[in-house]
Amino acid sequence: MRTSCLAGQSCSSAGQRERSSIIIRLCCLRISSSGLPCPNTPRLPHTPQTSGEKDSNSQFNSRLHLVHTSANQTPPPLNSHKKNSNKQRRHRSNVSPGRYSVRISPAAPSKDTNDPHCSPPDLFYNDHESQKYTTSSRIQTIQTTMTQRALSLLSLPYPSLILDIGCGSGLSGESLTASNHTWIGMDISASMLAVALDRETAGDLFLADVGQGVPFRPGTFDAAISISAIQWLCNADTSDVSATGRLSSFFEGLYAALKRGGKAVLQFYPKNEVQRGMITGAAIRAGFGAGLLEDDPGTKNVKLYLVLTVGAGAGEGGADDVTNMVRGLEGVDVIDERRKGRDGGRDGVGEGKKGSKSWILRKKEQGRNKGKFVKADSKYTGRKRRPAF
């Protein structure tokens, strides 16, 4: 079935040459349009491709997964801690690949701090590693490209106040300063911040663990950005914290610290599907409208961006919120993985509402199967009566 939708219309009206298709899986709609490229889309430096045949015009072959979110997108009530804690407890016992704890004990074998999967970020990024990270031209290029991409997703119209989560040595911050924004950076690694000091970055720096919350008053930031950082939240390095607990305090803090209508783009490297699910799940539970943008899916250079919106725009039609952010970007597939509304979902299964025609027919069939006397079906079965005068 081919039709046009809100986002589809905007794509074609913006005039795109490249293929930009929007797939909404659950509604069984497949919409594709083609046109001319948007004139206002910022041109980005080319990323290396592993797949040879690609449209030379499009920089990214991207997919946006709209992750399930509650229909009215209300933040969870304050007294819902108990339910959450149960969830967390269950999670704790069932899922182990996503979280692991590192305990420093004399009996344990000596820790290899070079393996990012076994040491916490503040130990992994020591002086040597921070210096290496910051001076590597390859990492610099990748970081700048990803920051530019995140900025184009945020599409901030005026100079804004931006929170940089895991700012490190300020590689991403430099792009923000270049775009005339003011930023505040948080990082857990003191060595990385020392490098940032040497480089004389323009933003304010904080030595802080975002897993402990975001210490800003509500509605502070226009936007938040994070480049290759939040996967570290999946580490629970001591026994008194859990990965889910850290993720939820981070996302709840971030949700509060962003202004209504604010946006966040968080690029991260999940270790596996479980981590990816944990991070997106925590964002949605905090009340965000979430989408997962995949650049160059299926290649070695795949980059994941968690695209989050706060409040505004989620009300009408549902698909309005996150898809707004990819408008005017080239070559983005939108895949809707959201569950439908409560009664909508039941209709999809085919059971029908109580009292509807399909429900009556089903009940009659059940009666017949039991051998009861059931009146024959006719064109009048389940039909509404005419309103009597």
**Site residues (CB under 8 A) for another protein?**
81-82, 84-85, 88-89, 158-161, 180, 182, 184, 186, 188, 193, 197, 202, 204-209, 212-213, 215-217, 219-220, 222, 238, 240-242, 245-246, 248-249, 259
For the bound state, the minimum distance from the C-beta of residue 334 to another protein, rounded and expressed in Å, comes to: 30
Residues 6 or more apart whose Cβ sits within 8 Å of residue 35 = 11, 12, 14, 15, 16, 17
As given in the structure block, the two tokens for residue 109 are: 């074998």
For residue 289, the SS3 value is: strand
The whole-angstrom separation of Cα 162 and Cα 227 is 13
Q: Which is nearer to another protein, 121 or 331 (CB)?
A: 121
Angle at 169 between CA 163 and CA 172, to 5 degrees: 50
Nearest by Cα to 282 from 315, 317, 319, 253: 253
- CA atoms of 264 and 224, how far apart (whole Å): 4
Secondary structure (3-state) at 355:
coil
Toward another protein, which CB reaches closer, 184 or 292?
184
Instruction: Please report where in the chains the tokens 């184009």 appear, as a residue.
Output: 152
Contact assessment for residue 55 and residue 18, using Cβ atoms and an 8 Å cutoff: yes
Q: Are 7 and 327 within 8 A, CB to CB?
A: yes
Instruction: State which residue, 143 or 189, has the beta carbon closest to another protein.
Output: 189
Residue 205 vs 308, nearer CB to another protein: 205
231: closest CA among 190, 264, 277? 277
7 vs 193 by CB, closer to another protein? 193
Residue 383 CB, nearest approach to another protein (Å): 54
Minimum CB distance to another protein smaller for 85 or for 272: 85
Q: How far apart are CA 278 and CA 274, in angstroms?
A: 6
Nearer to another protein by Cβ, of 158 and 373: the residue is 158
Least distance (Å) between residue 182 CB and another protein: 6
Q: CB of 174: closest distance to another protein in angstroms? A: 15
Of the candidates 251, 267, 37, 252, the one whose C-alpha atom is nearest the C-alpha of residue 175 is 267
